[in-house]
A and B are shown apart, each in its own frame.
Chain A
Amino acid sequence: MAKPKMALYWAAACGGCDVDVLDTNEKILDIANLVDIVFWPIALDFKYHHVEAMEDKGIDLCLFNGAIRSTEQAEIAKLLRNKSKVMVAFGACACFGGIPALANFTDREEIFERVYHEAPSNNNEKGTVPLLKTSVPEGELELPELFDTVLTLPQVVDVEYFVPGCPPPVDLILKLVDLYARGQLPPVGSVIASDKTCCDECDRVKEEKKISRFYRPHEIITDPKKCLLEQGIICCGPATRGGCGMRCVKANMPCRGCFGPPPGVVDQGAKLVSALASIYQGNTDGDVKRMLEEVVDPAGTFYRFGMADSMLKRKRLQKSRGSVRNAKD
């Protein structure tokens, strides 16, 4: 019997999810024995036209990483969706927007201005910026259009499964492959991770969640055995799905939420604000003001990996442009 066909693709991503698949080490040989990989830009030489030539649903399993922030990425997502029986949003960017979705605090115009005109490392005297079409003596060159708003994969195409994480831990990749191989995939829409929160799975000592102030890392030496949040370090664990193996917290770094919201939570950032507000010991207006000052970058912290997936989705464009203009005035 022919082996099932697997595709792997990256959209707005860093390549970490692809390397992550190689982090399965010798198990990658088991995966290669199990499936034929028919598309994987980081590792194999198949082109888009090879995918276009495949029959619809000819790919059995597609692991799609990266957020969607250009017309090309949206087109490839739709192409791979049509060609794939099972589509997996693989990694935080595909699931929730990830780090690239921090761009939803700004827009394409501001990004172009910074990247191509203002950045001090630039040498762009002609003021060249990417254009959708560029005429050259030999013909015409085309580039995809960047969106103002970064999207998640499920905002563009239907997705069967989610494997969160930045990047997903190797044990979850192997779990997905194993479930697939044994024909025991869970119900469509399932997240291949834990159903608990990070806090539930964290083995740091938790005593009493009462915080009198928040600290930045240079303001405190933390006890590596105690709950970071109880020590005043903002940790996204209470509003983040578990299953990550506590990689950050074990390295004495607070969680930043790359596994997305736990089951039943719609908006990860709002959930975290709720959690923090309930444990902060503040009764006066002055306390509240102090608390707000202690949280340096609330939106960028609470929505570090989840801006595109959040109820906010993005900073309001008009307001954003207006505030930039005011700042320059």
Chain B
Amino acid sequence: MPKISVNPITRLEGHGKIEIFLDGDGNVANTYLQIPELRGFEKFCEGRPVEELPRIVPRICGV
């Protein structure tokens, strides 16, 4: 199917892309939002002292 990619999504915090699939008539058949990023805070915060987390997790989103 023909596809329109919106990459990257702009004017928001974070990374994203949108894939729009078109049917034979050029109408939208389906649309997918993808998030092409992962940093892994859930994992790498493990083992850090609890008093340090207020200095680490603000970097999840700085906007």
| A139/B37 in contact, CB under 8 A | no
| A102 touching B52, Cβ below 8 Å | no
Chain B, residue nearest A102 (CB): B44
Chain A 259-285 interface residues, beta-carbon cutoff 8 Å to B: none
Q: Which of B7, B32, B61 contacts A47 (CB 8 A)?
A: B7
Q: Do B39 and A100 have beta carbons less than 8 Å apart?
A: yes
> Is the contact region of chain B dominated by helix, strand, or loop, or is it mixed?
loop
A17–B61 alpha-carbon span in the complex (Å): 10
Most buried by A among B3, B7, B43: B43
Residue of B nearest to A110 (CB): B43
- Chain A residue at minimal CB-CB distance from B46: A114
Q: Are A44 and B32 in contact (CB under 8 A)?
A: no
What chain B residues lie within 8 Å of A43 (beta carbons)? 10-11
Per the bound structure, the CA–CA distance linking A10 and B5 in Å amounts to: 20
- Whether B21 contacts A115 by the Cβ 8 Å rule is no
Asked if A179 is at the interface (CB within 8 A of a chain B CB), the reply is no
Question: Given A15-B13, A136-B30, are A69 and B39 also a contact pair (CB < 8 Å)?
Answer: yes
Q: How far is the CB of B15 from the nearest CB of chain A, in Å?
A: 8
Are the CB atoms of A297 and B52 closer together than 8 Å?
Answer: yes
Q: Which residue of B lies closest to A299 (CB)?
A: B47
> CA–CA, A166 to B58, complex, Å?
11
* A137 touching B30, Cβ below 8 Å: yes
Residue pair B52, A138 in contact (C-beta under 8 Å): no
Any B CB within 8 A of the CB of A130: yes
Residues of A within 8 A of B3 (CB): 138-139
Shortest beta-carbon distance, B58 to chain A, in Å? 8
Query: What is the CA–CA distance of A86 and B3 in the complex, to the nearest angstrom?
Result: 35
**What are the interface flags for A295-310 relative to B under an 8 Å C-beta threshold, 1 for contact and 0 otherwise?**
0110011001000000
Q: How far is the CA of A18 from the CA of B13 in the complex (A)?
A: 9
- Does any Cβ of B come within 8 Å of A167's Cβ? yes
Within 8 A of B (CB), among A66-120: 69-70, 72, 98-100, 102-103, 105-106, 110-111, 114-115, 119
Beta-carbon contact of B59 and A42 below 8 Å: no
CB nearest to A71 among chain B residues? B36
B52 and A300 form a contact (CB under 8 A): yes
Provide the A140-174 mask, 1 if CB < 8 A to any CB of B, else 0.
01011010000000000000000000110000000
On whether A47 and B8 interact (CB within 8 A), knowing A14-B62, A102-B56, the answer reads yes
Most chain B C-beta atoms within 10 Å of own C-beta, residue among A13, A49, A301 = A13
Known: A42-B13, A70-B36. Is A114-B43 also a contact (CB below 8 A)? yes
Asked if A218 is at the interface (CB within 8 A of a chain B CB), the reply is: yes
The chain B residue sitting closest to A295, CB to CB, is: B49
Interfacial residues, chain B to chain A (CB-CB below 8 A): 1, 3, 6-15, 19, 21, 29-30, 32, 34, 36-40, 42-49, 51-52, 55-56, 58-63
- For the complex with contacts A16-B59, A115-B42, A300-B48, 19 further pairs of A-B residues with Cβ separation under 8 Å are A15-B13, A15-B63, A18-B63, A19-B63, A41-B8, A41-B9, A46-B10, A48-B8, A99-B56, A102-B48, A106-B40, A111-B43, A136-B30, A138-B3, A143-B36, A216-B49, A217-B51, A297-B48, A297-B52
Q: List 19 A-B contacts (CB under 8 A).
A: A13-B62, A15-B62, A16-B63, A41-B9, A41-B10, A42-B13, A70-B37, A98-B59, A100-B40, A102-B45, A103-B39, A111-B38, A138-B3, A138-B30, A139-B3, A139-B21, A217-B51, A296-B49, A301-B52
